C-alpha cells in the first residue's frame, strides 16, 4: 500500500464465519477496540507478509526438481539469478 493511500478507506462487505467474527468481537471487547479495526489490522499484516515481500529462492522448496530451459538465465534479473546460483540451482 502506498503512503498516500494509508488514510483513504474503502468500505467493503466481507463474509466470515460466525465463529471467527465472534472471536474478533471478544478480542475487541478485551482490548477496547472495535472488531472492524482488528480485522483491518489483520488484513494489513497479511498484506505485508504475503503481497509485498520478495521471497528468497534459497528458502523455496525445490525438492520436486527444477528443470529450466536452456538460455533461461538470460531472462532472469541479476538479483534472481544470484539467488538461484546461491541456492544451488544449476542454470
* pLDDT score recorded for residue 24: 94
Q: Do residues 90 and 65 make contact, with C-beta atoms less than 8 angstroms apart?
A: no
Q: Is residue 91 part of a domain?
A: no
70 and 43 in one domain? Answer: no
pLDDT digits (tens, 9 = 90+) for 60-89: 666 666 666 665 555 556 666 666 666 666
Question: Is 29 a residue whose pLDDT tops 80?
Answer: yes
The whole-angstrom separation of Cα 58 and Cα 8 is 37
The whole-angstrom separation of Cα 75 and Cα 29 is 53
pLDDT digits (tens, 9 = 90+) for 31-46: 999 999 999 999 998 8
Q: Which residue has the cell 528443470?
A: 67
46 and 64 in one domain? Answer: no
Q: Is residue 79 part of a domain?
A: yes
Q: Which domain holds residue 31?
A: 3-50
* pLDDT score recorded for residue 69: 61
Question: Is 18 a residue whose pLDDT tops 60?
Answer: yes
39 and 14 in one domain? Answer: yes
Amino acid at each position: 500500500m502506498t503512503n498516500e493511500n494509508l488514510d483513504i478507506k474503502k468500505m467493503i462487505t466481507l463474509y466470515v464465519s460466525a465463529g471467527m467474527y465472534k472471536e474478533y468481537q471478544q478480542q475487541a471487547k478485551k482490548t477496547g477496540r472495535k472488531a472492524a479495526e482488528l480485522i483491518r489490522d489483520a488484513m494489513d499484516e497479511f498484506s505485508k507478509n504475503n503481497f509485498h515481500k520478495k521471497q528468497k529462492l534459497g528458502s523455496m522448496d525445490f525438492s520436486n526438481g527444477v528443470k529450466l530451459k536452456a538460455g533461461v538465465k538470460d531472462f532472469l534479473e541479476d538479483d534472481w539469478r544470484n539467488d538461484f546460483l546461491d541456492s544451488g540451482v544449476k542454470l
